[in-house]
Amino acid sequence: MKRNGFKVLLCVLSAIFFTSCSGANAPVTSSASSSVSVASSEVAQKLTAASSAPTEESAPIPKEGAKLNVHYIDVGQGDSEFLELPNGQTMLIDAGNPENGSQIVTYIKNLGHNKIDYLIATHPHADHIGGMATVVNGLDIGKVYMPKASSNTKTFEDLLTAIQKKGLKINTAKAGVNILNAGALNVDVVAPVNITGDDLNQYSAVIKATFGDNKFLFTGDAGVESEKQITADVKADVLKVGHHGSKTSTSQAFLSKVNPKYAVIEVGKDNSYGHPTAAALEKLQKIGATIYRTDKDGTIIFTSDSKTITVNKKSSSIKEQAPPSSAPVAAAVAPQKTAPVEKTPEVTAPATENKSYTVYITKTGGKYHTGGCRYLKKSKIAISLSDAQSQGYEPCSVCNP
Ligand SMILES: [Zn+2]
Ligand SMILES: [Zn+2]
């Protein structure tokens, strides 16, 4: 968010962490970069070793009928988006503030996942990478992507240290990088293109995820300068609005190119930045986008079957960890942009009417599931619905037991 703390430490950091850097064998000096504690030759050796290990594996292809779930997690004033990909893999883009780290780990585990196959830090600001060290420590991690931008903050150092300790390498996130290409599923980095200067927001990795006809764009805190440079096709059904709806993002030209049906603003209640701005909201309304906001809607989940997108609001932040105060609203949405949003009631019968029903829990998760739920691990434990509820388990949002 702020411009403070930016230093071009890249000669040191990129030499250590980024595999595409030509200076990978340069000796590490300790002159101007003493604030980055990870810049030791020991670390450099470890990461060089890690980066030389061939770990390329092709991603599985989505099975017939598989769905993409995109969770815009309510982390207050910050960003975090978790993708349950239709090929069974997972992706996390940003991890909120430091206090959100363990909440995000719990959220992901409750969905039945222990691994993040693709971890993306859009840029080094604390409201995006704050919780990421905890996420790296708390879950299995596949590939890590970051733009070539760094900060001398402790939060950023902690993240680098966590990555280093796990023996992971960092892949550079920049325009043209393909993260995943598996049948109808494709994830590309479309920015940063050619950013210079000291505004870290502009270095934000902008990610486009495509599943069949449906497209999702994640912009981090990218501003107008970055938006202007993007040459890739950014047309998308769902736009994660740049920089929490700040006036420095979402230029009319860019918005016209994206032309979203839905806009999601990840923003904290009564934040001191004045996000989202009236200017951003007005532009989004004018283009006809339905706006969702984490400060008003809580965590928002979009589901795509590759043709149609549905929206589900959880109405609770991960902080509260409380059941929704009212039944979640499922909105089935016709693919035409002009069609009104049809709100349909949840089809699941209220749980209280059927207390003797058998559901399944796992040793570590906090959710109960139907027997056939794909989020149920092998170690499933049968339990009556009433017991599951009285022990504090919550219904899985996927199988709706
Ligand atoms: Zn931010
Ligand atoms: Zn930022």
CATH number at residue 169: 3.60.15.10
Residue 383 burial class via C-beta count within 10 angstroms: exposed 0-12, middle 13-18, buried 19 and up: middle
Q: Is residue 81 part of a domain?
A: yes
253 in a structural domain: yes
CA of 220 to the centre of ligand 2 (A): 7
Q: What spacing in Å lies between the alpha carbon of 54 and ligand 2's midpoint?
A: 33
Whether residues 194 and 222 share a domain: the answer is yes
Cα 33 to averaged position of ligand 1 atoms, centre (Å): 25
In a domain, 2, yes or no: no
> How far is the CA of 48 from the CAs of 23, 25, 146, 165, 169, in angstroms?
12, 9, 17, 13, 8
Domain interval for residue 364: 351-395
Residue 57: predicted pLDDT: 66
Clarify whether residues 158 and 108 are in a common domain. yes
* Residue where a domain stops, chosen among 320, 344, 368: 344
Cα(63) to ligand 2 centroid in Å equals: 36
Whether 12 is in a domain gets the answer: no
- Does residue 247 share a domain with residue 145? yes
Question: The tokens 């928002």 sit on which residue?
Answer: 300
Q: Band the pLDDT of 383: cuts 50, 70, 90.
A: low
Answer whether residue 401 is part of any domain.
no
CA of 191 to the centre of ligand 1 (A): 16
Does 281 share its domain with 365? Answer: no
Residue 5 in any domain: the answer is no
Q: Which of 161, 154, 109 is nearest to 130 (CA)?
A: 154
Q: Ligand 1 mean position to 174 CA, how many Å?
A: 18
Question: Does residue 155 share a domain with residue 184?
Answer: yes
Ligand nearest to the CA of 147: 2
Q: State pLDDT tens for residues 102-137.
A: 999 999 999 999 999 999 999 999 999 999 999 999
pLDDT tens-digit readout, 300-332 = 999 999 999 999 986 555 654 433 333 333 444
87 Cα–ligand 2 center, Å: 31
Whether 41 is in a domain gets the answer no
Q: Give the C-alpha separation, 333 to 206, whole Å.
A: 26
| Residue closest to 302 by CA, chosen among 112, 92, 67, 120 | 67
- How close is the Cα of 14 to the center of ligand 1, in Å? 23
| Residue 185 scores a pLDDT above 60 | yes
Do 147 and 227 share a structural domain?
Answer: yes
- Ligand 2 mean position, distance from CA 397 (Å): 31
- For tokens 């000669």, name the residue: 11
Co-location of 234 and 377 in the same domain = no
pLDDT band at 244 (very low <50, low <70, confident <90, very high): very high
The rounded Å distance from CA 1 to ligand 2 centre is: 4
Q: What pLDDT was estimated at residue 36? A: 35
User: Is the overall model pTM greater than 0.75, yes or no?
Assistant: no
Are 260 and 356 found together in one domain?
no
131 and 246 share a domain? yes
Mean pLDDT of the chain: 78
Side-chain half-sphere CA neighbours of 301 within 13 A:
20
Report how far ligand 2's centroid is from the alpha carbon of 127 (Å).
7
Count the domains in the chain.
2
- Domain for residue 126, yes or no? yes
Are 193 and 302 in a shared domain?
yes
Q: How far is CA 224 from CA 7, 195, 230, 277, in A?
A: 22, 11, 10, 15
Q: Collapse the DSSP code of 28 into the 3-class scheme (helix H, G, I; strand E, B; otherwise coil) and give the result.
A: coil
- Interval 238-245 mean pLDDT: 98
Distance 204 CA to ligand 1 centre (A): 10
Over residues 350-379, the pLDDT tens digits come to: 333 333 455 666 666 666 566 655 556 555
**% of the chain surpassing 90 pLDDT:** 63
The neighbourhood of ligand 2, an ion, using CB within 5 A, equals 1, 125, 201, 221
Helices 154-165, 10-17: crossing angle, 10 deg rounding: 20
Render pLDDT for 279-296 as a digit per residue (tens, 0 to 9). 999 999 999 999 999 999
Same domain? For 235 and 380 the reply is: no
| Domain shared by 124 and 213, yes or no | yes
